[in-house]
Amino acid sequence: MIGLFMIAVMSTSYFDSYPEESKYAVDFVTEHKIEIKSIRKHLSSEDSRLAMCIVAPEVSQYSQMSDAAETFALYSLYVQGKVLDFSIGAFQMKPSFAITIEEEIARCDYLKQYRALIIQEKSDRAVRYERVERLSSLRWQLIYLCAFIEIARKKTSNLSFKTAEEKLKYWATLYNAGLHASENKIYGLYDIDGFPKLSSKCFNYADVCMEFYRNRKYCPYF
């Protein structure tokens, strides 16, 4: 009996463990459908779907109230250069993530359609201010996300993914681990259950993304 109970617990899905949070993510993409569909200007229908599934776990755990409190406490400190990094917005992107994207755009011609992401402000303080302003905006986060997908595609061009889910698993882990993560590190993270952080019930981040990918109510318009 104990063995059967343990198997049942281990097989519980993210949607079963976090039903309210999962529903929040589905409702979020429905509410912001028009803005989200704008990514089709940059990505194919399939890549658009993958992109939104990659950020789905973050969206599901996003709380506007707690995010606002965190932003209020850390926003000015970041602008002053006293805080290096913190998560912000529905996709929980960090300034360091944005900086990596911006640097890639500055040096790579294939990303020229995203050059609007390169901040033109003169002082470091003004650049930091503009960056967190953008990361507070769903519109700008979607553009950063599109650029990430382009970079992920280029970075993994030497890999052969047999299915879209294999690609999603790799790209989602890359999003969660950081664009500079090595191939060995990415594969090593496949067996790590660390999402949501500081929770008694954690899952592998990429596996959660795949649950959203298989859910027909999530982003059905892609």
Which structure tokens are listed for 6? 């343990």
pTM: 0.91
**Residue pLDDT tens, the chain, 222 long:** 444 444 344 558 999 999 999 999 999 999 999 999 999 999 999 999 999 999 999 999 997 666 666 677 787 888 888 777 888 899 999 999 999 999 999 999 999 999 999 999 889 999 999 999 999 999 999 999 999 999 999 999 999 999 999 999 999 999 999 999 999 999 999 999 999 998 889 999 999 999 999 999 999 999
Report how far apart, in Å, the C-alpha atoms of 15 and of each of 102, 166, 172, 198, 211 are.
34, 20, 18, 18, 8
Question: Which pLDDT does position 68 carry in this prediction?
Answer: 67
Which sequence spans correspond to the domains of the chain? 18-214
With CA atoms as reference, report the closest residue to 174 among 147, 149, 138: 149
Question: Which pLDDT does position 60 carry in this prediction?
Answer: 97
Question: Which pLDDT does position 67 carry in this prediction?
Answer: 63
- Yes or no: say if 117 and 101 are a contact pair by the CB < 8 Å rule: yes
Question: Which pLDDT does position 8 carry in this prediction?
Answer: 40
